[in-house]
Amino acid sequence: MSKKGHKGLSKHQIDRVWRRYDLKNDPNSALMPTDVPNLNFDSSAPTPPPIPTPGNGSLVKRAPKSRFQSPSRMYSSSSVTQRFKNNIKSNNVLSTNSQVKDAYKTYYNMNKGYKIDDFCNDLDMHRNLDIAAKGKFDLDVSGNRRMATKFAVLLSKIAEDMTGEPEPGDEFWDVERLLNRRLSRENILNCKMSREKESIIMILDSSPSCSRQARFYSQLASIAALHSDVELYNAPNARLVEIYNRRKRKFVKCITPQDIMADVHEWSLFRNRVIIFFGDGDGQNILEKAADHNKIYWFNYEDNDFYDSFCRKLRITYFGDIYSNSDFINAMKTIR
């Protein structure tokens, strides 16, 4: 077939005939708008203007990249915090042992073999970390000021690369968009992005096995509560039970039955985060699973070769023999 096509029509004229197709005579036109005008083809009619597309100088707005709304945003610190806030507002959080048992009856038939009563045991054994009220924690007491300073140094050292999901902005060049400019014809000034700042997660074990460290952990919690970029959790045996509410200035229950089914209490929502965990080996199974997706610093009052080799394998930064603030201060000196 010649370049001119049928009856001497050029390729562009055939395209124009297709665009002016009469939908009223089409048996499938019921699926289309009914107010489409019936245009008769006229070969002398001027060619319609091209449909504007991004990159040809038109005013068409650039569509946001899908990765800015990617599923991974559900793991960002703001999304996780908002989820727990919604849980608290919904009054669906598990705050008593009996509520957990009722949830167990409801969900056991749906998920045979799932033991929601494990969470029941942890909820029962968790203890109040007794954060000092604002203004009541005296940093001038011997050792407290030094510990607060060392804690701030720790945050500054481990938070250097704590940036989360990319979002539209002007801070960094977006390499992916730069590589695709040959096809997308985007303005080079649109090929920039920023990164959402992620907060650091601090998890304190309040189970009876850590009772001798309760005062030390309470001091740590009081210091961490002064930093707005720290998410603070009460977690017996490393299972999340409470989150620190800055407005109420206390720990509040935050886990729903649905969260237990989704393993939220076992850190399933933490991805690409820095986690500081103070606790013993009772929660090592949770740390083992979380180490695949997060950077973990583990401060344990126990110290033996097993935990050391366990953490080396998983690339967990481990500190043993952490009983008090002086032990914590000495451990901070070893972090580069």
What is residue 22's predicted lDDT score, i.e. its pLDDT? 52
Contact 202, 231 (CB under 8 A): yes
Q: Which pLDDT score is estimated for 44?
A: 52
Helices (H), ranges, 91-225: 97-108, 117-125, 144-158, 175-184, 214-224
Q: For residue range 259-316, what is the model confidence (pLDDT) as tens digits?
A: 888 899 999 999 888 999 999 998 899 999 999 999 999 999 987 778 888 998 898 9
* Rounded Cα distance, 70 and 110, in Å: 29
Residue 197 and residue 166 in contact, taking contact as beta carbons nearer than 8 Å: no
pLDDT in tens, 40-68: 444 455 555 554 444 444 443 444 444 44
Greatest mean pLDDT among 32-41, 149-158, 165-174, 246-255 lies in 246-255
- pLDDT for position 205: 94
In CATH, the architecture of 92-162+198-332 is 3-Layer(aba) Sandwich (3.40)
In 198-333, beta strands by DSSP E: 200-204, 230-234, 242-245, 250-253, 274-278, 295-299, 317-319
pLDDT tens digit string along 216-240?
Answer: 898 889 888 888 889 999 999 999 9
Q: What percent of the chain has pLDDT over 70?
A: 65
Burial call 60-73: b when 16+ CB within 10 Å, e when fewer = eeeeebeeeeeeee
**Whether residue 34 has pLDDT greater than 60:** no
SS3 245: strand
The residue ranges of every structural domain in the chain are 92-162+198-332
**What is the C-alpha separation between 127 and 82, in angstroms, rounded?**
24
Q: Which amino acid is at 279?
A: G
The overall average pLDDT reported for the chain is: 74
